[in-house]
Chain A
Amino acid sequence: MSAGGPGGEAHGGVAPGKIIAFGVLGGLIGIYGAHFLSIINPAFSFIGALGAICAIVWGADAVRRVCSYGLGTGVPSIGMIALGMGVIASLFGLAVGGIAGPIVALIAASIIGLVIGLLANKVLGMNIPIMEKSMVEIGGAGALAIVGLSTTMAGTFMFDEVLALVVAPGYIAVIFIAGGMGILHPFNACLGPDEEQDRTLAVGFEKGAIAMIIAGIVSMVISTTAAIPAIMIGVFIWYISFAKFYELTKRDAYKVLGTGLLPTEEELQ
């Protein structure tokens, strides 16, 4: 894996503050919306996964900002640490928080992230200026993604149901890796000197939609009513974001060719 180049601040695009607000608010609204509306009708549980998509896009943007500095090791490591702390914090939040569970999860993940960020800079001497802030964001995004997807799978974020329906059968493993890949893959896939924020985040939406489809499939265990909207809407978001990504690829690429020979010597000059 190639690291993120010699480094420097990520450039351009939507300001970090807006994406943080989008991730936190979108994530929490989605999770609470799914929780309360599912009581009326299980079909509404898909809203939790929409919240998870917001969180995944936020996480992908945070990865993009921190990895632009070059970590000395591959981009994937930061996604794995995010989900490692995220899974512990989010299950803790749901277990002790009751109705405030998702918020407790977000706070717990942020605190663990802050400590790991401080350790990385102060003890390990990584000296990345935004490390603390980014680890808080990535941990929080990981926790919201896990809670959001769990809510769609179980139809609620009450711990007993999540434990019995998501953790015990092992579906938490797929949340762990699909959420983690959703956060780390967009920047990793678009890594390079001509990376653009909108193209990277389009991949974030696309990977979030895949996680949503998988969460929808798992919710079949509870009710088909819950599964169908989640899968359909997931496929729809996937198609829209993939089409957008392909369009941006055609905008940004040197050339998109059906086939052809390599560029000639003169062309490369």
Chain B
Amino acid sequence: MIDIAGILMENISYVLLITLGGMLISFSVHFVPVGGAPAAMAQATGIGTGTVQLAAGAGLTGLVTAGTVMQVSDNPPLIIAAGAVGAMIMISVTMIVGTWVYVYGVGVPPASAKVKYDPITKDRQDLYVSQGTEGHGLPTVSYVSGVIGGLLGGGGGALVYYSLMSAGMDTGMAMANLVGLASIFAVGIFFVNAVIPSYNIGGTIEGFHDPKFKKWPKAVFSSLIATFMCALVAVLTIGGL
């Protein structure tokens, strides 16, 4: 059997960092403007897909970038920043092309139904909401919110990956094995923390101006506990070899 207490004492900082990463991912999902199925019919503001899906798509793109950088650098802020930038690029591109489709393909101006004035541009919103809908497209506030979501989610994912890799670095495990374990654990922790907040917000949110955004402490607290357990288990697996 392995020395559980010893490994935990040695790696307690990594456990805490992974937990922090999970909480960042959970928080980030609240920023991603996702309208679910109604948004795909230009019936609600936001991107027309599911929260888990888009957050995972962006965060995992960030993980790929973080993996590239981690291979050549051991500077933690740089690795985390690289993950954040990868996710930000993914979500920005998706949102800008989404805007093309809404404006040129469907012919609707971006508008939010949750607020009367866009908090960033101060533009009037309610007059631009077409009849029988809850808004459509991505007004500037939702776009900026989505970028922040990418920043936090990609950074959180990269932090998880970095901590898992670091926990295994001094065990002398073969590099391929370590990367394989750390990357699939990072993916697993990412999914757990993408689903928890999406249950919290019921699958749709417009961005940080949405009233539902205020519920974030519940999801972040849940993620704190869930990720802490996953982190303990993951670090024991990696550090125990």
Q: Do chains A and B touch in the complex (CB under 8 A)?
A: yes
Chain B 200-226 residues near chain A, CB threshold 8 A: 200, 202-203, 218-219, 221-222, 225-226
Q: At the interface, yes or no: A44 with Cβ under 8 Å from chain B?
A: no
Question: Within the complex, which residue of B179, B187, B236 is in contact with A95, where a contact is CB–CB below 8 Å?
Answer: B236
Stretch at the interface among B86-94, B96-104, B136-144, B227-235: B227-235
User: Which of B51, B53, B199, B234 has most A Cβ within 10 Å?
Assistant: B199
Stretch at the interface among A16-24, A115-123, A197-205, A231-239: A115-123
Contacts of B53 in A (CB 8 A): 76
Q: At the interface, yes or no: A176 with Cβ under 8 Å from chain B?
A: yes
Q: Work out how many contacts link A and B, with CB atoms closer than 8 A.
A: 137
> A164 to B191, alpha carbons, bound, how many Å?
24
> A3 to B51, alpha carbons, bound, how many Å?
14
Decide yes or no: A72 and B192 within 8 Å by CB, A77-B50, A115-B226, A167-B181 being known contacts.
no
Contact with B along A144-172 (1 / 0, CB 8 A): 00000000000000000001100111101
Contacts of A76 in B (CB 8 A): 50, 52-53
> B221 to A73, Cβ gap below 8 A?
no
Write the nearest CB–CB distance from A44 to chain B, whole angstroms.
26
> A116 to B196, Cβ gap below 8 A?
yes
Question: Within the complex, which residue of B4, B180, B240 is in contact with A167, where a contact is CB–CB below 8 Å?
Answer: B180
Contact with A along B160-199 (1 / 0, CB 8 A): 0000000000000010110111001101111110111011
Q: At the interface, yes or no: A8 with Cβ under 8 Å from chain B?
A: no
> B236 to A81, Cβ gap below 8 A?
no
Q: At the interface, yes or no: A1 with Cβ under 8 Å from chain B?
A: yes
> A242 to B206, alpha carbons, bound, how many Å?
42
> B233 to A89, Cβ gap below 8 A?
yes
Nearest residue, chain B, Cβ from A166: B180
Write the nearest CB–CB distance from A133 to chain B, whole angstroms.
17
Question: Within the complex, which residue of B174, B176, B222, B229 is in contact with A112, where a contact is CB–CB below 8 Å?
Answer: B229
Write the nearest CB–CB distance from A170 to chain B, whole angstroms.
6
Chain B 29-59 residues near chain A, CB threshold 8 A: 36-37, 50-53, 56
Question: Within the complex, which residue of A73, A77, A95, A167 is in contact with B184, where a contact is CB–CB below 8 Å?
Answer: A167
> B195 to A81, Cβ gap below 8 A?
yes
Contact with B along A91-119 (1 / 0, CB 8 A): 11001100000000000100110011001
> A112 to B230, Cβ gap below 8 A?
yes
Nearest residue, chain B, Cβ from A163: B177
> B195 to A96, Cβ gap below 8 A?
no
> B37 to A1, Cβ gap below 8 A?
yes
Q: DSSP majority for the B interface? A: helix
Contacts of A77 in B (CB 8 A): 50, 52, 195, 198-199
Q: At the interface, yes or no: B241 with Cβ under 8 Å from chain A?
A: yes
Question: Within the complex, which residue of A88, A111, A126, A172 is in contact with B234, where a contact is CB–CB below 8 Å?
Answer: A88
Decide yes or no: A173 and B184 within 8 Å by CB, A1-B37, A123-B218, A163-B177 being known contacts.
yes
Q: At the interface, yes or no: A84 with Cβ under 8 Å from chain B?
A: yes
Contacts of B185 in A (CB 8 A): 87-88, 91
Decide yes or no: A112 and B226 within 8 Å by CB, A164-B177, A170-B180 being known contacts.
yes
> A84 to B189, Cβ gap below 8 A?
yes
> A176 to B189, alpha carbons, bound, how many Å?
13
> A110 to B123, alpha carbons, bound, how many Å?
50
Question: Which 10 residue pairs of A and B lie closest in terms of their CB atoms, listed nearest first?
Answer: A73-B203, A84-B191, A81-B195, A119-B222, A72-B202, A168-B180, A167-B180, A84-B192, A84-B188, A92-B233
B: which residues have CB within 8 A of A? 1-2, 4, 36-37, 50-53, 56, 174, 176-177, 179-181, 184-185, 187-192, 194-196, 198-200, 202-203, 218-219, 221-222, 225-226, 229-230, 233-234, 236-237, 240-241
